[in-house]
């Protein structure tokens, strides 16, 4: 069997969902909708956190980082896939595949660290409200965000370089819709134990360890909330954390099912649909969840729409719909 380094492969072919032509059309439409909604929602969230002075707080600074991250993540995964479906080629160059793999890993890794830092931010805000402005000052927030990006990008670089040095067994067809690292590893015909060990160590550091930090933060948060005497205070505290917890459950649930599943469960088709949820549905829901669960964000969006003539028409239409339902 002919062996060649991954770096010597000029072009890769994607199988995607070609075995299911009818499903492929549905997946294309769903991915296009998810991408457009993610793009629109994330841009709106970033815009209001920059333009509205009431949202110049650590929580919204981290939220804008998360939104920016989601734009990069979905763009790296979905734009090539959507373009391939329209053109009918289902191919990607080596450099394109390497870049897609790197950005996918980097954005996912950064989100793990960023979500744990957002949990710490909520812990300080609820458990140490008087010292919150001092502890989470602008300099600290920038350092935390920068550290999250650096950690995610460096771990992704290590994983990507490790895989690209391996040899493939004479074929270059990836049974996936993107250059997902686990799918590319299936092309390799040499011993991958060292690469798998590196990936396992990084995965444990980024998934269970950061999730443990989030759980510890919320144990302290919950115990503090239960000590609040006023019902309104408890409700406000729960509301503040509910959006972040929902995002954490969605993100970590799909990520753990992809990267820490038992080796006996190895279905490439299931992996593809899990990747759609992990890479498309979760980023799409992030801005929606934070908008619906946060009064400050909703007020800022409404203020932004009022300044825009089209926004005024939209708000008027929504108010008319609401009034008609009441009558």
Which ranges of 165-192 would DSSP assign to H, the alpha helix?
A: 181-185
**Does 11-305 carry CATH code 1.20.1070.10?**
yes
Tokens of 19: 């075995």
Q: What is the DSSP letter of 199?
A: H
Q: Residue 31: which of 181, 177, 176 has the closest Cα?
A: 177
Domain boundaries, the chain: 11-305
pLDDT of residue 326: 47
Contact 268, 66 (CB under 8 A): no
Tokens of 217: 């933060």
pLDDT of residue 267: 66
Task: Return per-residue pLDDT of the chain as tens, 327 residues.
Answer: 455 555 556 788 888 777 777 788 888 899 999 999 999 888 888 888 888 777 888 988 998 999 999 999 999 888 888 888 888 788 888 888 889 999 999 999 999 999 999 999 989 988 888 899 999 999 999 999 999 999 999 999 999 999 888 877 767 888 888 888 888 888 887 888 898 899 989 988 998 899 999 989 988 988 888 887 777 767 766 776 777 788 888 888 888 777 776 655 556 777 788 888 888 888 888 888 777 667 777 777 777 666 665 555 444 554 554 455 444
pLDDT of residue 35: 92
Contact 12, 91 (CB under 8 A): yes
> Considering the entire predicted model, what is its pTM?
0.83
SS3 assignment for 247-292? HHHHHHHHHHHHHCCCCCCCCHHHHHHHHHHHHHHHHHHHHHHHHH
């Amino acid at each position: 069997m002919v062996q060649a380094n991954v770096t010597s492969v000029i072009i890769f072919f994607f199988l995607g969902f070609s075995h299911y032509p009818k499903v492929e059309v549905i997946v294309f439409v769903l991915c296009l909708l998810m991408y457009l909604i993610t793009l629109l929602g994330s841009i709106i969230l970033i815009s209001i956190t920059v333009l509205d002075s009431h949202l110049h707080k650590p929580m919204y600074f981290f939220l804008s980082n998360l939104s920016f991250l989601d734009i990069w993540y979905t763009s790296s995964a979905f734009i090539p896939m959507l373009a391939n479906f329209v053109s009918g080629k289902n191919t990607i160059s080596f450099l394109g595949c390497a870049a897609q793999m790197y950005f996918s890993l980097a954005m996912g890794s950064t989100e793990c660290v960023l979500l744990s830092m957002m949990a710490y931010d909520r812990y300080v805000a609820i458990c140490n409200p008087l010292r919150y402005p001092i502890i989470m000052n602008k300099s600290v927030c920038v350092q935390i965000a920068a550290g999250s990006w650096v950690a995610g990008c460096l771990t992704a670089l290590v994983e990507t370089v490790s895989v690209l040095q391996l040899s493939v067994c004479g074929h270059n067809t990836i049974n996936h819709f993107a250059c997902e690292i686990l799918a590319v590893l299936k092309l390799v015909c040499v011993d991958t134990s060292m690469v798998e060990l590196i990936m396992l160590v990084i995965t444990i550091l980024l998934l269970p360890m950061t999730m443990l930090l989030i759980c510890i933060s919320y144990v302290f948060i919950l115990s503090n909330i239960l000590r609040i005497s006023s019902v309104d205070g408890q409700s406000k505290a729960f509301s503040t954390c509910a959006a972040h917890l929902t995002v954490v459950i969605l993100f970590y649930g799909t990520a753990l099912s992809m990267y820490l599943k038992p080796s006996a469960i190895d279905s490439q088709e299931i992996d593809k649909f899990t990747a759609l949820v992990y890479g498309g549905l979760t980023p799409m829901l992030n801005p929606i969840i934070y908008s619906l669960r946060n009064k400050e964000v909703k007020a800022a969006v409404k203020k932004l729409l009022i300044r825009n003539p089209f926004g005024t028409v939209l708000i008027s239409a929504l108010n008319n719909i609401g009034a008609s339902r009441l009558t």
